[in-house]
Amino acid sequence: MIDKDSKIFIAGHRGMVGSAVWNNLTDNGYTNLIGQKSADLDLRNQLEVEYFFANEKPKVVIDAAARVGGIMANKSYPYQFLMDNMRIQNNLIESSLAHACEKFVFLGSSCIYPKFSPQPIKEEYLLTSELESTNEAYALAKISGVKACEYIRTQFGKDYSSLMPTNLYGPRDNFDLETSHVLPAMITKFHEAKLDNHETVTLWGTGSPKREFLHVDDLAKAVLFSLENKLPDNLYNIGTGEDISIYELANLIQEIVGHEGEIKWDSEKPDGTPRKLLDVSKMSDLGWKAQIKLKDGIKATYEWYLENSYDLKKVKIS
């Protein structure tokens, strides 16, 4: 176990994941957390990262830093998504090894798995077939990080681990309709339609694909679990083990937001992969399980959205 006063560096501490991890560790009595704004420490710069580690000497590193974006950004700038993410994680991993960090927690994404993986997706399916082309560059970067941690674990005996969460949502999510993912985008669409006399909301596809969603606070608890336990393997899926159709998700968010208009499905638009569900038995067998129910998590996320994204009178949530 890591002492509560151990110096823990959370890279990306101001993002959705990093801030959730920071808050969760603070709530659980960890008193020596450090973070750096990107303006003060460019994680892509090897010399800056090396200088930071030489001075700070953290005992634990949690890598929640990454260049992220939606489908259009990934398709338009694959080189930057590949290189920026590799630079960030390589600098953090290399400096952690060089400066004898006891634990390293590498956070990635379920997009590392093949596009047509059998369902539910097991960790062993990594690198068994082709990736989804729209985010291949990001996935390749994350796969290299997973493998770097695996090789350090086997070659040097270090307690380095990789946690791969399913689709995340929660406070500090991206709610911009142009760049956000499906759940926060729906919150924005239904809320804005509600304000506009409950106008019709049009959604892409048929609503039939199924997706798994994890509240970011549950991921933060998985990070805490990985600090307080020595994980026997390198790679672990982090999710709920349950999925929901996009159609059902839309109805649930509509109910929570209080939108009373019509939902139209534009079947001319693509549905995407029919199903993407993680097998989370490996982590749950060790004692960690997601706790936040989807409806409760969406309610809390919508409350945060109202309080932080709009200068509006508070709206009561049903």
User: Which residues are the active-site residues?
Assistant: 138
168 is in an annotated binding site: yes
Is-contact 11 63, C-beta < 8 A?
A: yes
* Residue 15 counted as an annotated binding residue: yes
Nearby residues of 193 by Cβ (< 8 Å), 6 or more positions away = 199, 200, 201, 259, 261
Residue 41 marked ligand-binding: no
Annotated binding residue 265: no
Report cis status (omega within 30 of 0) of the bond before 78.
no
Distance CA(106)–CA(97), nearest Å, equals 13
- The response to whether 208 counts as a known ligand-binding position is no
Q: Is 107 annotated as a binding residue?
A: yes
Residue 1 marked as a ligand binder: no
Establish whether 189 is an annotated binding residue.
yes
Query: 271: annotated binding-site residue?
Result: yes
The reply to whether 204 sits in an annotated binding site is yes
Return d(Cα 253, Cα 186) in angstroms, integer.
Answer: 7
Known binding residue 221? Answer is: no
Residue 44 annotated as lining a ligand binding site = no
Q: Is 12 annotated as a binding residue?
A: yes
Can you say which residues are annotated as belonging to the binding site for NADP(+)? 12-18, 107-110, 142, 165-168, 181
Annotated binding-site residue numbers for substrate: 189, 204, 211, 271
Annotated binding residues, written as ranges, equal 12-18, 107-110, 142, 165-168, 181, 189, 204, 211, 271
